[in-house]
Amino acid sequence: MKQEEIQVFINGTISYFAEVTGEKAELGIPYTKGPEQLLLDYSGHIGISGNRRGGLYITCPREMLAEITRKILLTDEVDDQSIFDMIGEIANTIGGNARTSFGSDFNISVPTIFKGKPSNFRIVLRTPVVVLPINWKGFQAYLVVGID
Give the chain's domains with CATH numbers: 3-147 (3.40.1550.10)
pLDDT per residue over 44-65, tens digit each? 999 999 999 999 999 999 999 9
pTM for the full predicted model = 0.93
The overall average pLDDT reported for the chain is 92
137 within 8 A of 63, measured Cβ to Cβ: no
Q: How far is residue 124 from each of residues 14, 35, 36, 142, 145, measured CA to CA in Å?
A: 24, 10, 11, 16, 10
Q: How many Cβ atoms from other residues are within 10 Å of residue 85's Cβ?
A: 17
Give the separation between CA 92 and CA 97, rounded to whole angstroms.
Answer: 8
**At residue 40, does pLDDT exceed 70?**
yes
